[in-house]
Amino acid sequence: MYFAGEASSEMQTEADSNDITEHPRDDKSRPYVCTVCDKQFARKAWLTDHRNRHTGDNVYSCTHCEKCFTSQHYLRIHLNVHTSKFKCSECEKCFQDKSALTIHRRIHSGEKLFECKVCSKRFTQAVNLVKHSRIHSGQKPYQCHMCDKAFSRSGDLNIHMRVHTGDKPYKCHVCDKAFSQSGHLNRHTSVHTGDRPYKCHVCVKAFSRSGHLNDHMSVHTGDRPFNCSLCNDSFRQQSGLYHHKRNVHSNRKPYHCPYCGKLFKTNSELKQHVRVHTGAKPYSCRHCSERFTWPDRLKAHLLKSHNEGTWLTCHICQKKFTQPQW
């Protein structure tokens, strides 16, 4: 099912999220040119806002909360959330504009108007259908100008830029740990609260996020819809396919250690390696003052010192271990 007017409006939302200041249909001269991607703008202020997308800078801050934005336009839209101008009558959640509220209401009504022609999966938003379609096409139109890494969504590119800028705008109010993505902060918060409200109806596992539960369900269904185009491997999640291609089929190592120059395929591998040089111990025990360089060391400490966790027992000699012994 396809609604032309609404679909075009929602697809424009994704285009706007990439660059709201570009006006390809007007006849005005655009003398201000971005030196990174060559886009042209009629006003210098528009160019300044656009550059923030490449650098990852969030220079416009909300006075009501800690959120920051790359342009005044986004800040103005965000302020509607605090004024309750667009409030859902079902759950009283507030939104930045009327279209966002309209889309949200489909959660309550269960409407999914947009269907994928390849796999028949349905979506509440046309923009989500556009993003999903790239799974099948493999299209990644948004490319990082610093490491040539490509993304299927503009938002993913903006988040990725923080790898290069080091920006971590989301801070935990309990332990002051900072994160580059709001989702990472939400995931981290469950460490303090221990909440796992999303329970699997097939087994006893529970999860802190609904997305993790959805990913887990493929363990029971056996679905592996993401196929590697270079070999016969298939994966339950798109992230698994992405990591497989990067680690198995790619020779690129864009991340280099500033201390010894060693190259790595992923930023997480680089971060772990740097601890060898800095001696950083980011993993702290919630029961005492002990800190650790590696998460498995923390798990071993929790078992040995605080009896927290599960011991692994050898079925032959009954010896106990804190982790698998290969």
Q: Whole-angstrom Cα distance, residue 260 to residue 282?
A: 21
pLDDT of the residue at 238: 82
pLDDT of the residue at 3: 35
Q: At what angle do helices 44-55 and 154-165 cross, to 10 degrees?
A: 70
55 — pLDDT class (breaks 50, 70, 90)? low
137-195 pLDDT, tens digit each: 888 888 888 887 888 888 888 888 888 888 888 888 888 888 888 888 877 877 777 77
State the CB neighbour count (10 A cutoff) for residue 100.
Answer: 17
For the chain, what is the mean pLDDT? 79
DSSP string for 76-118: HHHHHHHHTSEE-TTT--EESSHHHHHHHHHHHH----EE-TT
297-326 pLDDT, tens digit each: 888 888 888 888 776 767 677 776 665 444
- Which phi and psi (to 5°) does residue 177 adopt? -65, 140
56 — pLDDT class (breaks 50, 70, 90)? low
Res 269 pLDDT > 50: yes
87-118 pLDDT, tens digit each: 888 888 888 888 888 888 888 888 888 899 98
277 — pLDDT class (breaks 50, 70, 90)? very high
State the CB neighbour count (10 A cutoff) for residue 157.
Answer: 22
Higher local confidence (pLDDT), 44 or 70: 44
215-224 pLDDT, tens digit each: 888 888 888 8
Res 260 pLDDT > 90: yes
- Stated pTM of the model: 0.35
Domains in the chain (CATH in brackets) are 1-138 (3.30.160.60), 255-321 (3.30.160.60)
Inter-residue long-range contacts of 278-285, CB under 8 Å, 24+ positions, other chains counted: 284/175
pLDDT of the residue at 25: 44
